[in-house]
Chains A and B, each alone.
Chain A
Amino acid sequence: MEIPYTISTRPDTGLWNAKIGIWLFLASEVMLFGGLFSAYVFLRLDAAPGMWPHGLLNVPVGTMNTAILILSSVTVVLAWAALKMRRYRAYWWYMLATILCGVIFLTVKLVYEWPQKFDHFGAYLKPEALEKYEQYLGNHRREEKGLEQRIEITGHLHNPQALTDPNIKEYEVALDRVNADANNPANDRPHFLYVPPTEKIGKIDKEDVERATMFLPTHSAYFASYFTITGLHGLHVLAGVLVFIYMWLPVSKRLYQHNPEHLANRVEVSGLFWHFVDLIWIFVFPLFYLL
């Protein structure tokens, strides 16, 4: 069966079919991500003081990934323009660059960013125990300055068995700098560069802890929405990369040889999807990394 209107426009819509198809799909995607973003707003507005963490993500890495996605948006539109000018060689290189950008983005996310979170520990303290851990929290000074109180101690967990073994009574944590040097005003704002946990060990009685987990979706509404939204976004990046690989392989060169405009339209449509994925990230980046 021949699919009609792949390059010529359909008289009633004024568009070739795939163009209207992709826009209807993107409209449904707007609702999908819209639902998740509105859940984010709702959870954040509802978070009790100190319950919405700040500065836990790596800003330079997030910035780099943002730049990589923007670059890939440029290369995919250049790939399309190259096809329009019937320069297949240039198209091939731009497409390769786009695919590589997508792969780098995913690799950074899955090999570096997420595992680093899975390896990080946080313990929310019971309200009555906050005074006992004042040296790690610095809340007296924070109150004077009108800052939100700290209720969580974070760092690298030295005895991970403590999470499961009820006979272990305390968590031994190599403290993050915010907790190791709680009264230093330099730690009031999130650091730009990633700061690894210090050598200073803090001991936290399990009795004083309300909730203690690694940085997983169960840790907080913040990480639940972070992993859900970046996970779904990552799946979209993966899907885009797979489609681009297909269009870059020799299979598509055969299409180009007998109908170049058809390939150009395919690239335009998948490019529209890719720009949409980029557009989502433009909002994800400040919402989770910076604010």
Chain B
Amino acid sequence: MNNPPDISQDPAEHEEYAHNVQKHVKGYLVVGALLLTFTAVTVALSYVDFGTRKANIGVAMLVATLKAGLVAAIFMHLAAEKRLIYRVLIFTGLFVLGLFWLIFLAWYNPVVR
């Protein structure tokens, strides 16, 4: 879904523009409804036994990631953004992965072993 274009200064084009934004509004409402549904799904799934707790955590994180992806892509307009912002976020993602990788360093203690 693309973002609404910048508003035209020409009053004749304004009506068409407003109509265009209106279409996006419908999309936002659909995404909001989806997010509420997924919240209910997350709660329901936490009462289902997937065998181990690890499996339950995996399922819940999968749904949460899906929800976060919707928020980022649609509400935060990341589905169609300028290249510079993607570049910033790629580095952020890499650094966060590095941060989480430290946990596994501590957990498996590979240096001593």
Contacts and interface: CB of A to CB of B under 8 A. Distances in A.
A176 interface: no
Chain B residues touching A, range: 35 or more
Contact of A34 (B29, B31, B60, B96): B96
Contact of B39 (A42, A45, A63, A84): A63
A217 B84 CA distance: 41
Contact of B95 (A31, A84, A276): A31
A73 B29 contact: no
A287 B64 CA distance: 10
Contact of A14 (B25, B56, B75, B82): B82
A86 B31 CA distance: 23
Interface residues of A, number: 46
Interface string B90-111: 0110011001101100110000
A77, A276, A279 pick with most chain B CB within 10 angstroms: A77
A45 B107 contact: yes
Interface string A220-244: 0000000000000000000000000
A66 B41 CA distance: 13
A70 B32 contact: yes
B46 A291 contact: yes
Contacts of A73: 32, 35, 71, 75
Contact of B68 (A31, A85, A282): A282
Contacts of B18: 85-86
Contact of B29 (A19, A30, A74, A286): A74
A244 to B, nearest CB: 15
Nearest to A12: B84
Contact of A291 (B24, B35, B39, B57): B57
B12 interface: no
Can you list the 7 inter-chain pairs with the closest CB atoms, starting with the nearest? A74-B32, A290-B46, A27-B92, A286-B60, A34-B96, A85-B18, A275-B75
16 contacts: A20-B84, A27-B92, A31-B96, A34-B96, A34-B99, A41-B100, A70-B36, A86-B14, A261-B7, A272-B76, A275-B76, A278-B75, A282-B68, A286-B60, A286-B61, A291-B53
